[in-house]
Amino acid sequence: MDKSRKIIAVLAFVVFCTFTGFTLYKWMRFGTIDGGSIFFSFLALSYFFNWLNWGSRDGRGEKDELDRHIETQSAKIGYFVLMILAGIILFISEGVSNLNDIKNYPLLIVVGLTFVTLPVTEFIYSRKFK
């Protein structure tokens, strides 16, 4: 990794730590949760990992066959991890174990959509080649 890439990666990590620290400070000191800070913390963390892995903030650039394979497999694994985490967050945030007791319908719909997104996308994409 050349010097400029290291500096940018360190800066991205510092930005992530700054947003996270600010969010934790507001939560501990004032008891409020700032949604914008949480969102931008995750955005900065995404930027940091894209820069570490691909040398670019958005993961674009020249990629060989191994890079494309890594991208494809990590996307599919990430999809399933996100699906599981969304379900866990739904049940933890609602504090119930019975689906009929859930009152947060938008989150329930998002969790339901995680189950159909991959099959629908694969169906549509497969039509392109048939």
Q: Which residues of the chain have pLDDT under 50?
A: none
**pLDDT value of residue 25:** 92
pLDDT at site 58: 55
DSSP 62-85: ---HHHHHHHHHHHHHHHHHHHHH
d(CA 81, CA 76): 9
For the record, the structure tokens of 105 come out as: 């319908």
- pLDDT of 14 reads 93
* Predicted pLDDT at 69: 82
Name the pTM for this structure: 0.63
CA distance 96 to 89: 11
Distance between CA 40 and CA 103 in Å, rounded? 28
Q: What is the pLDDT of residue 1?
A: 55
